[in-house]
Amino acid sequence: ADAKTDEVLGVHMIGARTADLIAEAVTAMEFRASAEDISRMSHAHPTFAEAIKEAALAVDKRTINI
């Protein structure tokens, strides 16, 4: 995320089920979402999609499960 605006600029994904996760990241980037926007969205636990929320929280050093 951009340091000044918090806008999501890109993502890196490696591992199982990344094809299932990329759609959320692309949608967020298309709508110029911030990491804060993603972190406020509901993500089921425990799921792979929760990793997207954790990454968004990590931008501001607020992770829950990592």
How far apart (Å, rounded) are the C-alpha atoms in residues 10 and 44?
A: 23
Tokens of 34: 């911030």
Question: Going by C-beta distance under 8 Å and a sequence separation of 6 or more, which residues neighbour residue 36?
Answer: 6, 56, 60
Please list the active-site residues: 45
